[in-house]
Amino acid sequence: MIEIIPVIDLKCGIAVSGKSGEREKYRPLESVYSPSPDPVNIALSLRAAGARSIYIADLDAIEGTGSNLEAVRRVNHILPVILDAGVRDRETFHFLLEFASRVVVATETLDSTGELEEILRNYPSERTVISVDVKDMKLHSRNLEMGLEEFRDLLTGYESDIILLDIGAVGTSGGFNRELLELFRPLIGRVIPGGGVLPEEIPELEAMGVRAVLVGRALHEGMVRPG
């Protein structure tokens, strides 16, 4: 059965929510799973509801303004954390393994494809997740200048799971990006779609061969359960 992975973003020690990656407009998260935006309380409730893991984006770390790593460590004792905290290179990836079960290497912050391949060659695939960050069907990155197809082809020789994160769809409940998913269909068994996924789309994704999906807003509003 497809895994529904809850998503929370952390900023200044609390869970926050917003849409379309407009981080300056994010507000404390309101979730049916907790009366407060405390990440530990949210994780405890999610585990009780059947969650098997949790995806956390540490926005302060990604933006280089601080971190929420001690909160991540506490959550990781409750649920295995898939952590995006702004990996740039092998050194930052190695450091973050101390805090989470799996560490995300995201195109937004990655220094180079050479650093990505260093990570993929030297660390177990079960601890590594690649995030293909996309805006307007273009690879979203501070440092990489390449097309989506070229980046997809780079990943074919490895086994790590691949998050397809349509940043413009985050928090919108606008549905998953079908064009993006189709582009990555050759790697469908490793793909984890994220950004705007609707509850009614989950059976379709499972039928396509998707094994897990990231769900934020729809889950926190009670429209879909984790697990």
Per DSSP, the residues of 98-138 read: TT-SEEEEETTT---HHHHHHHHHHS-GGGEEEEEEEETTE
Q: What is the mean pLDDT of residues 90-119?
A: 98
Question: Domains plus CATH for the chain?
Answer: 3-220 (3.20.20.70)
Residue 20 pLDDT grade (very low, low, confident, very high; cuts 50, 70, 90): low
In this predicted structure, the answer to whether residue 100 has a pLDDT above a threshold of 60 is yes
The pLDDT assigned to 19 comes to 61
Characterise 201 by phi-psi region: left (phi > 0), alpha (psi -120 to 50), beta (else). alpha
In this predicted structure, the answer to whether residue 86 has a pLDDT above a threshold of 70 is yes
Give the C-alpha separation, 105 to 101, whole Å. 13
**pLDDT 10s digits, 174-196:** 788 999 999 999 999 999 999 88
The number of beta carbons lying within 10 Å of the beta carbon of residue 10 is: 26
Residue 127 pLDDT grade (very low, low, confident, very high; cuts 50, 70, 90): very high
